Chains A and B, each alone.
Chain A
Amino acid sequence: MNELKDIGSALGNFSPQNIYTVPNGYFEGLPTQILNRIKALEAADAKEELENLSPFLSSISKEMPYSVPVDYFQDLSENISEQISKHADYQTSEEEIESLSPLLSSLKNKNPYSVPAGYFESLETKTEKKETIVVSITKRKWYRLAVAAAIIGVIAIGGLLFIKPGQPDIDTNPQGWISKNLKESPEKIDEFVTLTKDDSNEKVEDETDASKQAEIKELMKDVPEKDIEEFLNDAVALESNSDEEGIMNE
């Protein structure tokens, strides 16, 4: 109020008054009313809801005080059907097909198919006599599962054998052997290296010996045999003298 006066507002001259009225006992009853409303919202059905909202209303009979003409409901469906048939757009199914296609309407009752004499009479008897075979679903299902598993197993094993080739031969296919075993064990790699090294040296030595002999033969073809023998004897003598010196020096 002082603030209003300070700013020079005319409202500062009025004392606050509440012009609105509240029904008697409103605030006293408000908590209960709200609680009942909450219970009504959480009610399981309409009856419980009404009991919480208004015990008074729930106590009043729901019987309608209005009267209804005698037999009104019995005749109602007939009256309504009559009303509908009087409607301008109404047609029975026969009238409808007649208006759409007179040809189809004329063919409606003409059945070209024939049925053996006494067929329907005997059908009922056959149906009654026929026994229903009951097959256990669980047993069949077990049997089928076992067969399916066996087939899958055979296919899987066959596939594995097809996809996974055997160990390649190290002699005939060394590169295949390397690519197969490279990841597997260093020992196998060492084994391979050793094998190939020995083999390759023997092969090289053999090749060298053969070529050397051919070369020597070519060079010595004009040298007399006597001179070759003398040379060989001198070489042996020299070799034995050097061996003795070696033994003496140890």
Chain B
Amino acid sequence: MALTTLSDSELLVEFRNPVTKEKAFTSIIKKYQEKLYWHLRRMVVDHDDANDVLQNVMIRVWNGLENFREDSQLYTWLYRVATNECLTFLEQQKKRSAVSLSDVESGLENKIKADRHFDGNKLEWKLQLAIQRLPEKQRIVFQLRYYDEMPYEQMSRALETSEGALKASYHHAVKKIEDYIKNH
């Protein structure tokens, strides 16, 4: 049976078999690459940065999947790894440029404006600018709920935050973004 048609549980079994480990890993990448990529891209804006972070994420997955306890879904675990890797990347960027995180965020805003397709009059670009103005963790919450429509229960496990806090964070984020778009 082609590994691409297997469920997450079956892929994990194949991954834990030394004979089929590499094939299973390739199947996992193909299954989740786009979701994880866009999750990272929305956070770091730049494609090259998103690609670097994604590769780091996948190396972590290769090293850590053997010990994955399956107390959550594979998808949830992958998102947790990706989010942590993304936050680490942004933290490293801050240290590298020796600026505050808010400056990093304005740097992200500049990266959006630097995109060759950027059009400040279009709502979808304004939306991206508004999203980048959110605090990091609130940004993650907003993107997971707004773009991926991730259930709060799953998000709670991925971000290790209570559902109530996530709901409150998302509702506030929606308000802020709406206000920004209407006023700019």
Contact = CB atoms under 8 A, between A and B. Distances in A.
Nearest to A66: B41
Contacts of A9: none
Contact of A50 (B22, B25, B47, B174): B174
Given A41-B167, A60-B124, A93 B19 contact: yes
Q: Interface of chain A, helix or strand or loop or mixed?
A: helix
B117 A65 contact: yes
B122 A65 contact: yes
B21 A76 contact: no
Contact of B174 (A54, A61, A73, A79): A54
A113 interface: no
Contact of A46 (B51, B127, B149, B177): B149
Given A50-B146, A77-B26, A84-B62, A64 B171 contact: no
B6 interface: no
A41 B168 CA distance: 9
A96 B18 contact: yes
Contacts of B33: 73, 76-77
Contacts of A220: none
B13 interface: no
A111 to B, nearest CB: 16
B18 A54 contact: no
B115 A66 contact: yes
Contacts of B122: 65
A115 to B, nearest CB: 21
A80 interface: yes
Nearest to A63: B124
Nearest to A64: B38
Given A79-B55, A80-B55, A81-B26, A54 B149 contact: no
Contacts of B177: 54, 57
Interface residues of A, number: 35
Interface string A132-146: 000000000000000
A83 B16 CA distance: 20
B89 interface: no
Interface in B119-176: 119, 122-125, 127-128, 145-147, 149-150, 167, 171, 174-175
A180 interface: no
A76 B149 contact: no
Contacts of B123: 60-61
B178 A65 contact: no
A244 to B, nearest CB: 122
Contacts of B19: 93
Given A37-B171, A54-B175, A93 B21 contact: yes
A41 B58 CA distance: 35
Contact of B25 (A45, A53, A56, A81): A81
Contacts of B51: 72
Contacts of B116: 67
Contacts of A62: 146-147
28 contacts: A46-B145, A46-B146, A49-B145, A50-B146, A53-B175, A54-B177, A56-B181, A60-B124, A60-B127, A60-B181, A65-B115, A65-B119, A65-B125, A66-B47, A67-B115, A67-B116, A76-B29, A77-B29, A77-B30, A81-B25, A81-B26, A83-B55, A83-B58, A84-B58, A84-B62, A87-B59, A92-B22, A93-B19
Interface of B: 18-19, 21-22, 25-26, 29-30, 33-34, 37-38, 41-42, 45, 47, 51, 54-55, 58-59, 62, 115-119, 122-125, 127-128, 145-147, 149-150, 167, 171, 174-175, 177-178, 181-182
Given A46-B146, A84-B59, 6 more contacts: A49-B145, A57-B181, A62-B147, A73-B37, A79-B55, A80-B55
Interface of A: 37, 40-41, 45-47, 49-50, 53-54, 56-57, 60-69, 72-73, 76-77, 79-81, 83-84, 87, 92-93, 96
